[in-house]
């Protein structure tokens, strides 16, 4: 009789997952997806009121969830939080910020604010989770929510694209360093996803046409388009994937 291979499970039972930016949009969707897959999810955000509302909605569904007030742009806050935390098996770093303008009009405050969250905060949060796993001698899956703009450029998005290109770079370097600890580090790179934060872009007819012309599948992204991907990268189904970028861009970067 043929010994058939067994498909790895997408279940996350018994795993502890930290999701930043979990109070809305992509972060909220990722948190729900991980909870549905069985993970014990810790929601993190600066907006603790919105976070508690999300947590309550997840609890009503019978899933395990906790909340954590965290501003990843404040490195002392990250240090303080991780002093008392058990290791996280999964990280979804979804906290992000955009300050869009023509490159000739970029101001230093906007540049610094974006980099503090998208790059510096993401870097040191990923570092902190990895340190906890290495100390505990546990494997893990660390997922940075990047962007298609980490691979291409876009009008009025020089600062945002710079921050996400940098995320792609440190993700690859960390994957190389921590592979020996069985810690995987990857990015998810969505196209424009319909959320409250992107609504102003969709409200601009010129920007909306530019987006629709670039997306080969003929529609904009929805939060649900990211949810399956995050479960896949968090689970054993992706156990040989590290240092990679999973494009969820409807074919934008295929050109």
Catalytic site includes residue 160: yes
Bridge-based pairing state of the strands 40-45 and 16-20? parallel
Q: Catalytic: which of 63, 82, 160, 192?
A: 160
Which two structure tokens, joined as six digits, stand for 40? 């014990």
Residues in CB range of 206: below 8 A, 6 or more apart: none
The catalytic residue positions are 160
């Amino acid at each position: 009789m043929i010994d058939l291979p067994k498909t790895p499970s997408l279940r996350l039972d018994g795993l502890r997952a930290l999701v930043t930016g979990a109070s809305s949009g992509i972060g909220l969707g990722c948190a729900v997806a991980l909870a549905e897959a069985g993970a014990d999810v810790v929601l993190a955000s600066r907006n603790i009121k919105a976070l508690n509302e999300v947590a309550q909605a997840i609890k009503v569904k019978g899933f395990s969830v906790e909340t954590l007030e965290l501003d990843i742009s404040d490195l002392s806050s990250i240090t303080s939080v991780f002093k008392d935390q058990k290791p996280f098996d999964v990280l979804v770093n979804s906290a992000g910020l955009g300050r869009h303008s023509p490159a000739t009009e970029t101001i230093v405050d906007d540049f610094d604010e974006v980099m503090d969250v998208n790059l510096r905060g993401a870097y040191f949060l990923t570092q902190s989770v990895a340190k906890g796993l290495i100390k505990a001698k546990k494997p893990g899956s660390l997922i940075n929510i990047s962007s298609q703009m980490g691979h291409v450029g876009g009008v009025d998005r020089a600062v945002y694209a710079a921050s996400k290109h940098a995320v792609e770079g440190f993700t690859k370097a960390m994957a190389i360093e921590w592979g020996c600890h069985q810690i995987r580090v990857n990015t998810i790179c969505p196209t424009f996803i319909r959320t409250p934060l992107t609504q102003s872009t969709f409200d601009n007819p010129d920007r909306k046409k530019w987006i629709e012309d670039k997306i080969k599948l003929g529609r904009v992204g929805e939060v649900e388009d990211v949810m399956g991907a995050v479960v896949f990268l968090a689970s054993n189904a992706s156990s040989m994937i590290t240092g990679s970028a999973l494009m969820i861009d409807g074919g934008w970067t295929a050109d």
